[in-house]
């Protein structure tokens, strides 16, 4: 497990941008944390790292998924908070995205863990002070562990 600390919204975005350097098409990042923990802000950073204007990255709470065309790869941003059943997720066509040709970031994926790929990166954002966030990062499967290790190399000491 890799633990990082962000002391500002800008640092949270910066960590997301650094993570984007480690990601390849087909990778999935599962974001957890309470409401207001900074999940969407983190996705803005990932998007920026992929060449997407962070100003256009918004929470897909009501649309369930937002698709962004980056200069490197497409970004698929899911928010599963409002889904109530497996059928709701299936009707969104999640498999086309979770196993597709872009990078997928899922907020509230823990509500449907049984549908998440085995190879993924789980990141839990936890508020530890008004502007401070602790990010706990765990890679699952071979690819998830590779991404975690690559990210660890980019953060030789805590952020």
Residue scoring higher pLDDT (65 or 1): 1
Residue 80 has pLDDT above 90, yes or no: no
Which pLDDT score is estimated for 130? 83
**Tell me: the pLDDT tens digits for 105-127?**
999 888 898 999 999 999 999 98
Which pLDDT score is estimated for 124? 96
Which pLDDT score is estimated for 157? 58
Which pLDDT score is estimated for 60? 78
CATH of 2-133, one of 1.10.620.20, 3.40.50.920, 3.40.50.300, 3.40.1160.10: 3.40.50.300
Residue 151 has pLDDT above 60, yes or no: yes
Mean of pLDDT values over 47-52 = 94
Q: Which two tokens stand for residue 52?
A: 């997407």
Mean of pLDDT values over 1-24 = 94
* Reported confidence tier of residue 25, pLDDT bands at 50, 70, 90: very high
* Reported confidence tier of residue 159, pLDDT bands at 50, 70, 90: very low
Which pLDDT score is estimated for 158? 52
Question: Mean pLDDT in the chain?
Answer: 89
Distance in angstroms (rounded) separating the CA atoms of residues 105 and 18:
15
Q: Whole-angstrom distance between the N-terminal and C-terminal Cα of the chain?
A: 15
Is the model's pTM score more than 0.85?
yes
Which pLDDT score is estimated for 91? 83
């Amino acid at each position: 497990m890799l633990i990082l600390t962000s002391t500002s919204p800008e640092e949270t975005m910066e960590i997301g941008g650094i993570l984007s350097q480690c990601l390849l098409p087909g990778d999935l990042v599962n974001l957890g944390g309470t409401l207001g923990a900074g999940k969407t802000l983190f996705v803005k950073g990932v998007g920026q790292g992929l060449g997407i204007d962070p100003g256009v990255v918004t929470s897909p709470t009501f649309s369930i998924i937002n698709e962004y065309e980056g200069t490197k790869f497409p970004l698929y941003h899911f928010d599963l908070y409002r889904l109530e059943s497996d059928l709701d997720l299936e009707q969104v066509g999640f498999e086309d995205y979770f196993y597709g040709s872009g990078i997928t970031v899922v907020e509230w994926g823990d509500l449907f863990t049984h549908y998440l790929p085995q190879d993924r990166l789980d990141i839990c954002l936890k508020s530890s002070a008004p502007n401070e966030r602790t990010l706990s990062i765990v890679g699952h499967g071979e690819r998830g562990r590779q991404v975690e290790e690559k990210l660890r190399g980019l953060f030789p000491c805590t952020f």
